[in-house]
Structure 1
Amino acid sequence: MSRTAIIAGQGALAPSIAARLDNPVIAALEGFSPPMPHQSFRLERLVPFFDWLTTQGVDRVTFAGAVRRPRLDPEAFDPRTASLVPRILAAMQTGDDAALREVVALFEEAGFTVAGTAEIAPELVPGPGILCGEPSAADIDDATRAAEIVEGLGHLDIGQGAVVAQGLCLAVETLPGTEAMLDFVALHRDQRPRLNGPRGVLWKAPKPGQDRRIDLPSIGPDTVGQVARAGLGGVAWQSGGVILLEAEETAEQARAAGVFLWSR
C-alpha cells in the first residue's frame, strides 16, 4: 500500500494536510518541529532518510509548513549523502525558490513523486472571489500596484508579499518573512500621505515561474491579526496561488476587524 509523507514545517498547514490523508508519514527537519508527532531527520543524513521513507511504504511526498535554512555540520554527513554535498551547499547559497527546486529534484531522483497542496487539498487554495468585506476602488488600485511589485521582485527570488497604501509601497517581504514585514508596517503606519485616507493592502502571490508544489504563500487567522495591528484595510492574493488556512476562523476575524479578504 502506497503512502504519502508530509515533510512538515511549523504552523497549521501540516496538521491540516494530515487530516485529509489516510495514514500519512509525518517527518520534519530537525529543529523545525510541527505541532504533531513526527519523525525527525537531518539534511546531513538525507539518503538514509530516503531509505527510511521507502521502508515505510512512501512513494509520494508533500511539503507543508515553514522552515528556515538549517546550519549544516560537515562532520555529520554520512558517506552516501556526502556525495550530494556540492549540490546541497550550492542550493543553500541561492534564493529560496532555487534552493527548494533542488530539494524537490533530490526527492524525485530518489524515486518519490512530489505533490503540492493544491493537488492534495485543493479546497485550501481558493479560486477568485471576495470572502468578506468589500475592497474600495483605492484598495483595488493598491492591490494592483502591490501585485506589480511582487511580480517584479519575484524574478530576483526575494519574496512573496508587499504592502501598498495610497499607491505607495510601505514594505516588501524579504527573508525574515511576512510577520516581520507587517511588524515593520505597524511601526511606520504614519508614513501614509493621508492618515485618514485608504489604509492599504497586503498582497500575497507566488513568485513568477515558482514551482507551485512547494512553498506556496499562505494566510490565516494570524495574518488577519497582524494586518489589523498594522492598520491595513485588507488582504488580497493571487487566486489559485495562496493557501488559506482555517478559512472560517480567518473570515470571522477579518469581519470583526473590518478587514476585507479578496482572492483576486
Structure 2
Amino acid sequence: MTRTAIIAGSGALPRLLAAELGNPLVASLDGFVPEGLTPDVVFRIERLMPFLRHLEDAGVTTVIFAGAAARPRLDPALFDPQTAQMVPRLLQAMQAGDDATLRAVIGIFEEAGFAVSGVADVAPGLVPGPGLLCGTPSEADSADADRAAHIVAALGSVDVGQGAVVAQGLCLAVEALPGTDAMLDWVAQTARRPNPQGAKGVFYKAPKPGQDRRIDLPALGVETVRRAAAAGLAGIVWQAGGVITLDRTAMLAEAEAHGLFLWSREP
C-alpha cells in the first residue's frame, strides 16, 4: 500500500488538497498549523531524518508541499546526528535565498526515496489556465498588467518576490518579505495615482522565473480580493498555470461585489 503525505504549513491549501487526495498523511511543520485540518504528525527541521524514516514506515512514497511557512528558528540542542550532517547544506542554501532553500528541501526528500508532486499534479482545478474569470480589463489595465509582469519577472530573478502593483504605468509597490497582504495594505494607506481620474491599477502575481513549481507556488484567496478592493485597484491578474486560487467561487463573488476583474493571463 502506498500513500501520499502532505507536508503542511499554515493556511487553507493543505485542507483543500487533503479533500482531493482522500486519505493522505498530514505532517505539519512545528509552529505552522494548517487551517481546518488536524495533522497526523508534527515535525521539526532539527529532527528531519527521523521524520523521513517515519514517513517511510507509514508507507508514504509521494509528498506534496502545501501551505505557508517562514524559516523556523533552529535549536542546535535538538539535532540528531544524521540531520546535523545536513546543516551546512541547508545553511548554504538559505544564504542563497528562498528558491535555493526550497530546491535543497526537495533534493533531500528525493534523495530519501520520495517522489515530490506539485499542487497542479494533484489538484489541477486549483491552478487556473488562461482566461478572464470575471469583469473586463480596459486597455490601460492590460498595459499595467504587462508592466507589472515585467517587474515581477525582474524581482523573481533575484529571488525577492512574486507580486507587484502597477497603476498608470507606475509601480506603486512590490511584494517583499512582509507578503501580499502587507503590500496591498500599504497601497491602500499611502499610494497615490498621478491622475486620480485615470486607471486604478492592478495587482499582478506570478511564480519566479525558473522556479520549481512543485513547491511554493503563489496563492490568491478571498482576502486578497478584499484587500485589492480596499486598495482601490481595478483588478487582479496572475500568470495562467502558475498561481493557486483558494475557494474560487468565493473569490468570484467577492470580486463581482466590488467590481474587480480577475484575469488568469497567458505568460
TM-score where L is the length of structure 2:
0.97
1:133, distance to aligned residue in structure 2 (A): 0.5
Give me the CA root mean square deviation: 0.8
> Quick one: distance in 1 between partners of 2:58 and 2:234?
47
Specify the alignment match of 2:57 in structure 1: 55
Specify the alignment match of 1:188 in structure 2: 190
Deviates more, 1:86-95 or 1:201-210: 86-95
1:212, distance to aligned residue in structure 2 (A): 0.4
Of all paired residues, the percent bearing the same amino acid is 62
Specify the alignment match of 1:139 in structure 2: 141
Specify the alignment match of 1:46 in structure 2: 48
Specify the alignment match of 1:238 in structure 2: 239
Specify the alignment match of 1:93 in structure 2: 95
1:110, distance to aligned residue in structure 2 (A): 0.6
Structure 1 residues 173-206: Cα deviation after superposition (integer angstroms, max 9, x where no partner):
11111111111111123x2101121110000000
Specify the alignment match of 2:254 in structure 1: 253
1:89, distance to aligned residue in structure 2 (A): 1.6
Q: Any unmatched runs of 5+ in structure 1?
A: none
Specify the alignment match of 1:165 in structure 2: 167
Structure 1 residues 94-140: Cα deviation after superposition (integer angstroms, max 9, x where no partner):
31111101110011011100000000001111001100010010000
Give the secondary-structure state (helix, strand or coil) at the position aligned to 1:20.
helix
Q: Does 1:153 align with 2:155?
A: yes
Counterpart amino acid of residue 236 in structure 1: V
The 5 Å alignment of 1:76-91 reads 76-91=78-93
Specify the alignment match of 1:16 in structure 2: 16
> Quick one: distance in 1 between partners of 2:138 and 2:243?
22
The 5 Å alignment of 1:56-135 reads 56-135=58-137
Structure 1 residues 8-47: Cα deviation after superposition (integer angstroms, max 9, x where no partner):
1111111000000031000111011112110110000000
Give the secondary-structure state (helix, strand or coil) at the position aligned to 1:101.
helix
Give the secondary-structure state (helix, strand or coil) at the position aligned to 1:175.
coil
Q: Any unmatched runs of 5+ in structure 2?
A: none
Specify the alignment match of 1:227 in structure 2: 228
> Quick one: distance in 1 between partners of 2:49 and 2:258?
48
Give the secondary-structure state (helix, strand or coil) at the position aligned to 2:56.
helix
Runs of 4+ residues deviating >3 angstroms: none
Count matched residues: 263
Counterpart amino acid of residue 208 in structure 2: K
Specify the alignment match of 2:198 in structure 1: 197
> Quick one: distance in 2 between partners of 1:96 and 1:172?
17
Give the secondary-structure state (helix, strand or coil) at the position aligned to 2:263.
strand
TM-score where L is the length of structure 1:
0.98
1:93, distance to aligned residue in structure 2 (A): 2.3
